[in-house]
């Protein structure tokens, strides 16, 4: 067992975990932050994407102990009270989801895409950048629209 | 996955010491293959020695002749490096097409070549560019580093420090990728040096190799058509649900032609 501490959504947390505990397990099971989902558990689907020190990672493929001392942002950390993050709002406005299971990972990846590519991104870029996020419902069309709209919203 | 003892070290010397003290330890770099492998119980090390805290292993430096990339430098950092983009654009492009963005933020060049997956991208570049793999013990020529499937010239307690790539004349990497994993079903890294052509092929055989027959044809005539008459040993090609041996042999030629056209 190891004692770890990190800042999650701006809040300092610490906990005791087995060495083999995954970051996503620590978030969901220890902290009850269940917005981050486990889809495939093989780093293919992206439902578990969170930001670690500001960049997207698949939290099913990183150990909790490896995140010791880091800044973590999860889907729960995006909204400001009842005011949604512009990317969340864009997914809502453009119906960028059906069952919603992949949505937290999609939104976290989408924000990372905007951080790296700016607010004016074409469809081809969005589709390529979303390679690591799988949706089994939508056919991606409205997700891509949402990401482009969310990108514009993030630019103000 | 089975439990293990996790250790974070801050120097190469500490990493080696931890490895020597462990019963059946493994180094972990970005963990993007290591952790899935452990989840599948295909690996169950007693100790996982994390190199992420070893600052000396991270970074990119470029001089007159070479681009040197620290072993723990992420694919995302290589892809985004303007220095690498200027010096060896094909290498930056290769790094930018490994896996997906989240994987590229964690995965490292050292981890990729130490693992030596038959379908990994970097080995093709290490071979084609004639790179040098520097470890805590020695310099290993790229041609001699990859031994077999998941097997390298590294000793158990040997740590990759950096990989040095000679600045190429003209280089191109063409990958026919698996649409789900983005691993190379076949990838061809071609370099046109002043004194001849070098070809690194990945995905096709047990591990990345030099395409000597392709080089011979291209040294005779640097045209896509020169590849048509090359005969590749189909019996050495990988075969799986994604592609038969015959199809892989075909893809090696097609990817080589595309690389020739990109370099012309």
Return the CATH number at A123: 1.10.150.120
Scored b (16 or more CB within 10 A) or e, B162-181 reads bbbbbbbeebbbbbbbeeeb
Return the CATH number at A45: 3.10.20.30
Q: What kind of architecture, by CATH, is found in domain B170-263?
A: 2-Layer Sandwich (3.30)
pLDDT score recorded for residue A120: 95
Mutate to test the interface with A, among B18, B102, B104, B182 (most CBs of A within 10 A): B102
pLDDT score recorded for residue B179: 83
Indicate if A94 and A66 belong to the same structural domain: no
pLDDT score recorded for residue B255: 98
Average pLDDT over residues A2-23: 97
Q: What is the ipTM of this complex?
A: 0.96
Residue A65 burial (10 A CB sphere; 0-12, 13-18, 19+): buried
Main-chain dihedrals φ then ψ at residue A108, nearest 5 degrees: -65, -40
Tens digits of per-residue pLDDT, A100-140?
A: 999 999 999 999 999 999 999 999 999 999 999 999 999 99
The alpha carbon of residue A92 is apart from the nearest alpha carbon of chain B, in Å, by: 24
Q: Which residue of A has its CA nearest to B36?
A: A42
Which residue, A77, A97, A116, sits at the end of a domain?
A77
pLDDT score recorded for residue B82: 97
Q: Tokens 């004016």 belong to which residue?
A: A120
Structure tokens given for A111? 């924000």
Question: Is the Cβ pair B32, A61 closer than 8 Å?
Answer: yes
Indicate if A147 and A99 belong to the same structural domain: yes
Indicate if A64 and A110 belong to the same structural domain: no
Indicate if A118 and A56 belong to the same structural domain: no
Indicate if A8 and A70 belong to the same structural domain: yes
pLDDT score recorded for residue B181: 81
Q: Is B10 touching A (CB cutoff 8 A)? A: no
**B245-263 and B212-220 are packed helices; what angle lies between their axes, rounded to 10 degrees?**
40
Average pLDDT over residues A40-52: 95
Mutate to test the interface with B, among A42, A54, A58, A69 (most CBs of B within 10 A): A58
pLDDT score recorded for residue A146: 98
Task: Report whether B163 contacts B131 (CB < 8 A).
Answer: yes
Indicate if A64 and A104 belong to the same structural domain: no
Average pLDDT over residues A61-89: 97
Indicate if A126 and A150 belong to the same structural domain: yes
Domain containing A110 equals 86-154
pLDDT score recorded for residue A50: 98
Residue B219: how many CB atoms within 10 A of its CB? 13
Task: Report whether A137 contacts A98 (CB < 8 A).
Answer: yes
Cβ neighbours of residue A139 under 8 Å, at least 6 residues apart? none
Residues of chain B with CATH 3.30.43.10: 5-50
Cβ neighbours of residue B146 under 8 Å, at least 6 residues apart? B113, B116, B123, B126, B127, B152, B153, B207, B208, B209
Which residue, A25, A45, A77, sits at the end of a domain?
A77
* DSSP code string of chain B: ----EEEE-SSHHHHHHHHHHSSS-EEESS-TTHHHHHHTTS---SEEEE-TT-GGG--EEE-SSEEEEETT-BHHHHHH-HHHHHH-HHHHHHHHTSS-HHHHHH-BHHHHHHHT-TT-SHHHHHHHTT-EEEESS-EEEHHHHEEETTEES--TT--EEEEEEEPPSEEEEEEEE-TTT--EEEEEEEEEETTEEEEEEESSSSS-EE-HHHHHHHHH--SGGGGTT----GGGS--SSS--HHHHHHHHHHHHHHHHHHH-
**What three-state secondary structure class fits A27?**
helix
Indicate if A48 and A113 belong to the same structural domain: no
Chain A residues near residue B43 by CB distance under 8 angstroms = none
Residue B225: how many CB atoms within 10 A of its CB? 10
pLDDT score recorded for residue A156: 75
The alpha carbon of residue B148 is apart from the nearest alpha carbon of chain A, in Å, by: 25
Q: What kind of architecture, by CATH, is found in domain B57-166?
A: 2-Layer Sandwich (3.30)
Q: Are strands A71-73 and A2-8 parallel, antiparallel or unpaired?
A: parallel
Q: Is A93 touching B (CB cutoff 8 A)? A: no
User: What's the CATH number of domain B5-50, 3.30.43.10, 3.40.50.300, 3.50.50.60, 3.40.50.12660?
Assistant: 3.30.43.10
pLDDT along chain B (264 residues), means of 10: 96 98 97 96 97 97 97 98 97 97 98 97 98 98 96 97 92 93 94 95 97 97 97 96 97 98 92
Residues of chain B with CATH 3.30.465.10: 57-166
Q: How many domains does chain A have?
A: 2
SS3 string of A63-92? ECHHHCCCEEECHHHCCECCECCHHHHHHH
Indicate if A67 and A91 belong to the same structural domain: no
User: Left (φ > 0), alpha (ψ -120 to 50) or beta: where does B57 sit?
Assistant: alpha
Main-chain dihedrals φ then ψ at residue B258, nearest 5 degrees: -65, -40
Of chain A residues 4-63, which have a CB less than 8 A from chain B? 18-20, 22, 41-44, 46, 49, 52, 55-58, 61-63
Question: Is the Cβ pair B101, A62 closer than 8 Å?
Answer: no
Which of A84, A125, A91, A94 lies closest to A107, judged by CA?
Answer: A91
**What three-state secondary structure class fits A3?**
strand
């Amino acid at each position: 067992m190891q004692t770890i501490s990190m800042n999650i959504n701006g809040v300092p947390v610490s906990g005791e975990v087995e060495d083999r505990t995954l970051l996503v397990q620590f978030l969901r099971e220890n902290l009850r932050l269940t917005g981050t989902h486990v889809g495939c558990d093989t780093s293919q689907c992206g439902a578990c994407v969170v930001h670690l020190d500001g960049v997207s990672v698949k939290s099913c493929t990183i150990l909790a102990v490896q995140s010791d001392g880091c800044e973590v942002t999860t889907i729960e950390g995006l909204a400001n009270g009842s005011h949604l993050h512009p990317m969340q709002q864009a997914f809502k406005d453009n119906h960028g989801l059906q069952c919603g299971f992949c949505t937290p990972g999609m939104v976290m990846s989408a924000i990372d895409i905007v951080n790296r590519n700016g607010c004016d991104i074409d469809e081809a870029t969005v589709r390529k950048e979303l390679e690591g996020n799988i949706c089994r419902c939508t056919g991606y069309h409205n997700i891509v629209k949402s990401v482009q709209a969310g990108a514009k919203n993030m630019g103000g | 996955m089975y439990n293990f003892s996790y250790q974070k070290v801050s120097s190469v010397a500490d990493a080696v010491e931890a490895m020597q003290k462990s019963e059946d330890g493994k180094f972990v770099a970005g963990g993007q293959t290591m952790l899935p492998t452990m989840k599948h119980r295909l690996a169950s090390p007693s100790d996982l020695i994390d190199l992420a805290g070893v600052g000396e292993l991270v970074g990119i430096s470029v001089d007159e002749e070479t681009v040197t990339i620290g072993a723990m430098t992420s694919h995302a950092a290589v892809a985004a490096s303007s220095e690498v983009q200027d010096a060896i654009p094909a290498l930056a492009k290769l790094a930018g097409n490994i896996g997906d963005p989240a994987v590229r933020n964690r995965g490292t060049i050292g981890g990729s070549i130490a693992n030596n997956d038959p379908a990994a991208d970097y080995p093709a570049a290490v071979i084609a560019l004639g790179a040098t793999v520097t470890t805590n013990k020695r310099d290993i020529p790229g041609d001699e580093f990859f031994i077999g499937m998941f097997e390298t010239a590294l000793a158990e307690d040997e740590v990759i420090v950096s990989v040095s790539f000679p600045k190429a004349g003209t280089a191109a990497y063409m990958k026919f990728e698996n649409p789900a994993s983005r691993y190379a079903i076949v990838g061809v890294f071609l370099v046109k040096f002043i004194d001849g052509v070098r070809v690194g092929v990945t995905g096709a055989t047990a591990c990345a190799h030099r395409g000597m027959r392709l080089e011979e044809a291209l040294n005779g005539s640097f045209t896509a058509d020169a590849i048509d008459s090359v005969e590749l040993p189909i019996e050495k090609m990988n075969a799986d649900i994604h592609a038969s041996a015959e199809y892989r042999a075909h893809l090696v030629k097609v990817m080589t032609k595309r690389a020739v056209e990109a370099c012309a």
